[in-house]
Structure 1
Amino acid sequence: MNHSTLQGSATTTSRRFASPLAVVAGLWMAIMAPSCLAFGFEDVAAKAKKLVEQEYQAPETNTTPTLRELEYEQYAQIQYRMDQAIWREEGLPFQLSFFHEGMHYVSAVEMNIIDDNGVHEIPFDANDFHYGDVKLSEKDLEGLGFAGFRIHYPINTPNVFDEIMVFQGASYFRVVGKNQIYGLSGRGLAIDTETPSNKPGVPSGEEFPAFREFWVVKPEPDSQSLTLFALLDSPSATGAYRFVLRPGDDSVLDVKSRIFLRKPIKKLGIAPLTSMFLFGPSQPTSTLNYRPAIHDSNGLLLHTGKAGWIWRPLVNPTQVEVSNQHVEELKGFGLLQRSHAFHDYEDLVDRYDLRPSAWIEPQGDWGPGSVELVEIPTQNETNDNIVAFWKPDEMPALGEPIDFNYRIYWTMNESKHHDPALSWADSTMRSRGEVRQNDLIRKPDGSLAFVIDFKGPALESLAADIRPTAVIDVGDNGKLVESRVIRNVAEGGWRVILRVKRDDETKPLEIRAHLEESTRHLSETWFYRMPVAG
């Protein structure tokens, strides 16, 4: 995937009242934080506060043309020697390894260790890397630093230190749990994400803040979590971050962040997630491909409090699509990979069936705002084209801190993070609509057909003689031609079949559907936004 840092002042002026939940969350964070550190979050926040008061300075680069012009296959040969991994000789539960500068990774991040004796810089040493067939001169290796780092932990097999988290490029990071492989990415911050121009070759205006320095706390021999701090900088903002990583079946990442704006921006994206959707049953491919689906995520899930749970299947549009769901009190959101069956992908190399979902739960009250979804056209699976983030209604004054704390679950057990009283849209299939002329012949009628399979506890507990009702809304740019609800006798649950016609192809068509019995919701709301025609 294409992948394009710390916390503020010790005295913070908050523009939100501290709710009881926020107090509990704060106490929990304090309990989880390492005690008696020589350096901590408030130190990073002070650095971010000082930095925002200064004019932005782009990071220097010492990479030579030879390093910058490396092809991906060449750059991939440069690997850190795991016999030099940090803490390997001490037998600690976590180890660190590093990325070399090169290709488009042309600026270094400063790396530090925090232990009982203070803060210690980790120096770059070219002898710690294997270079494969890549030929570099002494000049190419002068003045370099690390382009990022990896965290290793024996998550799958005892004494085998698998890579479980990586930081590389801007403020991007990825995490996996047990038996998972890397898929979608998290980011520290998004600024003016894809203000669409829809013109080839014209920049969108998006700014990519970058982590400039990291501090990793040395773990204890029995530690089950790893704490690190990061300092973020960009032309428009600075930030302080604390990450607490707890690996497991679901790896959990607790994030404490404090942001300072250096200049006005159009769009502030909190807890951004970046993923890829090329095609799948909800949007079949028009080209021949043996794989039935290619995506790291197939939908956006929102828990909006009063508006309930909303499932939004992703699309690969013909032009940039930006949409928002306003929420007064966000309970959670995430980009999910709701299908983990191998036969849904048939890919033995990229194993999309093993890629996790990322579910974000705010810690404390974030106030009113919107979850924004950006969908960008792509013709291949190497480009991330999906972005989702929280956009607060209230922007901080320049130089004033604003705090956002949250937890990210990296999971393949998506139902665990769903309302147990509701069923969910387990799959979405799309095709041309047809009208039946007799028992043997069906004729296209210009409509669009959707087949949605709902599964889950609320449907399983229905009495045998109860048939749920589908409540469907197609908005003001189309009409509902047909809808049916039938029992899924093959896999359980209930299937909704609907056909719609769009009035104006130059405008999106928004379709919503949920199941209910009497007036009781039995499912989340399925929300499909058909983009403008290509």
Structure 2
Amino acid sequence: MPQNTSSEINRRHYLKASACFIAAMTGGGILPAFAQDADPAKGNAPSPEGEATATVADKGKPFNWDWLVARMKARAAAPFVDDQGELPEQVSALGYDAHRRIRFRPDHARWREDGYNFELQAFYPGWLFDKPVRIFEVDEGISRPLDFHPGDFEFRSPLDEQGFDKIDLPGVAGFRLHYPLNRSDYHDELIAFLGSSYFRALGRGNNYGLSARGLAVDTASGSAEEFPRFTRFYIERPEKGARDIKIFAELESARVAGAYAFSITPGVETVVDVQAAIFLRDAVARLGLAPLTSMYLFGENDRTGFDDYRPEVHDSDGLVILRANGERIWRPLTNPGQLQLSVFSEDNPGGFGLLQRDRSPDHYLDTEARYERRPSVWIEPVGEWGKGSVFLAEIPSKEEVHDNVVAFWMPENGLEAGAEHWLHYRMLWAMDVEGDVPLARVLRTHAGAGGTSASKPDPNLRKFLIDFAGDPLVGLGEDAEVVARVSVSNGKVQHKILNKLQGSDVWRLILDIRRKDAGDPVEINAALLLGEDRLSEIWTYQWGQTV
């Protein structure tokens, strides 16, 4: 079925509010609203001053990646100019209810001719989307404006269509591509670019869930967060029967400018290959590359304070990190009582992602939201990323419409004015992005009050139950010398039991952890070993501070 992108965009609005919250929690002020091996700028590129704009004649302007990189590098060398233009007053005044009643007419989709797999539809500007975005079609190396008109949109009651039919739009809010993803006779929504630098995609069988961003600047850094925008898109006109499509984009904000290239191949795993050339106009405190944003309200390990018939509500249930040495880290997500930050130092990581591992409908009991169908997203570096950290921010939330989880890669260096970052990575959007992992994985994490049923409640004692399953555990008997290696900071293991569950290949680890300092979080790591051989990924958890 087609996906309704407009119905969930208030999640991005929440991140603007969340940014203010992060700044307050980390000491910042109130915020405003929310690779290539060689330098391609040295290639035979058209002049970066030769912009493709609405004034371009019908013959268009030459376009290629080298030109785009050179253009954005030149813009980064000059003071930031917001040249996206202004929306007509009637459009900028649209509120939530009015904006959601404006829909693109499917029969006006670009490339809606026989033989084309891809179709393009636009989002009407207004409400949160107050900066128009320009879209260009690239055909045989020539870019031409792809303009949209009032007749391309349906203005549903109580809006008066005649009140909009004379409005000349300077741009749109964004766009979405459709493709026969799930069946050959229907063009499903495949990927949407809407708001700032946000985009999200679908693999076969997925419903929309988490989102990606082009770039995150100073997220939870103690200073005002900056939200770069995709200001212009250049979309290659697909060939008839094509099974992939290329999109190029300009990204800009006060302190950064960047050129982006997306190569999108739909399928069971929809692959989005991303190349980016990022140039810093001014210094930043924190640069977030390949950022992901998701929603976690409550789950089996963290449902305190929610009176809900549903056992779990989340788009993602954990962060996975593949380390350079082959170790895998699984970090269950939480909805903390206060802002919670986790930083995982890495050197040339193999990848990271926000995953929805739990695919059982009975664990959600929500036949409308269908959280068991939300995609997992895996970020796989192409080439070496060097030293840095995978950063995870978890923001308190009381409603499931809010994206309150952010994860990205933070490079260790290159934060000063004039720095350049050449980035290449591959994104997988699918039900399963892990494939055949040669280590046992965490099936579930449960948490609750520590001690026994006869114990008095103790806020500084907590019990954790972790189930492991996977090929390395298959066939191991109960007498196998499997051990759980556990480490704790700001706490100690008061009780530990590891057992194989009868009649299965699942091994269950139960821990009672006592906190030392209530003012600091407790960090816990656990993994299964047989002798010195690793059997499982590393389960890691942050038990938040209580005061």
Q: Same fold (TM over 0.5)?
A: yes
Equivalent residue, structure 1, for 2:108:
84
Q: Establish whether residue 95 from structure 1 lines up as the match of residue 119 from structure 2.
A: yes
CA distance in 2, matches of 1:412, 1:236: 36
The verdict on how the C-alpha distance between 1:305 and 1:53 changes in structure 2, with shifts beyond 3 A counting, is same
Q: 1:199 corresponds to which residue?
A: none
User: What corresponds to 1:458 in structure 2?
Assistant: 472
Return the alpha-carbon distance in structure 1 between the equivalents of residues 304 and 502 of structure 2: 28
In structure 1, the partner of 2:485 is 471
In the alignment, what sits opposite 2:302? 283
**Residue of structure 2 equivalent to 1:3:** 12
Structure 1 spans left out of the alignment, 5+ residues:
14-36, 197-203
Gap change, CA 1:141 and 1:11, over 3 Å in 2: closer
DSSP-derived class of the 1:74 partner: helix
Q: In structure 1, how many angstroms separate the alpha carbons of the residues matched to 2:83 and 2:196?
A: 11
- Measure, in 1, the Cα distance between the counterparts of 2:173 and 2:380: 30
State the AA in 2 paired with 1:215: Y
Partner of 1:434: 451
Q: 1:436 offset after TM fit, Å?
A: 5.5
The CA distance in 2 between the partners of 1:368 and 1:415, in whole Å, is: 24
2:68 maps to 44
**Residue aligning to 1:321:** 340
CA distance in 2, matches of 1:254, 1:414: 15
Q: Which runs of 5+ in 2 are unaligned?
A: 1-9, 14-34, 44-60
- Residues of 2 paired with 1:340 and 1:59: CA distance? 45
Per the TM alignment, residue 9 of structure 1 is displaced from its structure 2 partner at its CA by: 6.3
Quote how far apart the aligned CAs of 1:266 are. Answer: 0.4
**Judging changes above 3 Å, is the alpha-carbon distance between structure 1 residues 140 and 71 closer, same or farther for their aligned structure 2 residues?**
farther
Q: What does residue 142 of structure 1 align with?
A: 168
> 2:475–2:505: 8 Å Cα contact kept in structure 1?
no
Are the aligned partners of 1:66 and 1:140 in contact in 2 as well (CA < 8 Å)? Answer: no
Which of 522, 526, 529 aligns to 2:535? It is 522
Q: Output aligned runs, 1:329-340, within 5 Å.
A: 329-340=348-359
Distance 1:359 1:415 in 2: 8
Cα offset, 1:2, TM superposition: 2.1
Q: Deviation of residue 400 (structure 1)?
A: 4.6
User: Cα–Cα, structure 1 residues 12 and 399, in superposed 2: closer, same or farther, change >3 Å?
Assistant: farther
Give the superposition deviation at 1:62. 3.3
- Cα shift at 1:454: 0.6
Are 2:432 and 1:423 equivalent residues in the alignment? no
1:164 is matched with which residue: 190, 195, 212? 190
Q: How many residues align?
A: 496
Q: Alignment RMSD, CA only? A: 2.3
- The answer as to whether partners of 2:478 and 2:500 remain within 8 angstroms in 1 is no
What residue number does 2:246 align with?
227
Query: How is 1:505-520 mapped onto 2 (pairs within 5 angstroms)?
Result: 505-520=518-533
| Residue number in structure 1 paired with 2:417 | 398
Decide whether the 8 Å contact of 1:59 with 1:107 is kept in 2.
no
Contact 1:3 1:170 (C-alpha < 8 Å) held by counterparts: no
- Most deviating of 124-133 and 394-403: 394-403
* TM superposition shift of 1:194: 2.3
| Residue from 487, 490, 494 that aligns with 2:507 | 494
> Distance in 2 between the 1:147 and 1:490 partners?
55
Structure 2 partner of 1:264 = 283
Distance 1:206 1:507, change over 3 A: same
Relative to structure 1, the CA distance from residue 527 to residue 246 in structure 2 (aligned partners, 3 Å threshold; closer, same or farther) is same
Q: Give the letter for the 2:527 counterpart.
A: H
Q: Is the 8 A contact 2:478 2:499 kept in 1?
A: no
- Helix, strand or coil at the partner of 1:101: coil
How many Å separate the matches in 2 of 1:259 and 1:143? Answer: 29
Closer/same/farther in 2, CA of residues 170 and 466 from structure 1, 3 Å limit: same
The CA distance in 2 between the partners of 1:492 and 1:216, in whole Å, is: 49
Give the letter aligned to residue 381 of structure 1: E
Could you tell me whether the CA contact under 8 Å between 2:133 and 2:230 is conserved in 1? Answer: yes
Distance in 1 separating the partners of 2:150 and 2:528: 60
- Match runs of 1:37-436 below 5 Å: 38-64=62-88, 66-116=90-140, 118-133=142-157, 134-135=159-160, 137-138=163-164, 141-196=167-222, 205-306=224-325, 308-395=327-414, 398-416=417-435, 420-435=437-452
Structure 1 length-normalised TM? 0.88
Counterpart amino acid of residue 218 in structure 2: D
SS, match of residue 121 in structure 2: strand
Identity of aligned residues (%): 37
Tell whether the 8 Å contact from 1:396 to 1:402 is kept in structure 2 after alignment: no
Distance 1:405 1:284 in 2: 38
Q: Secondary structure at the match of 2:261?
A: strand
- CA deviation vs aligned residue, 1:331-380 (integer Å, no higher than 9, x gap): 10001111111111111111111001100100001111111111111111
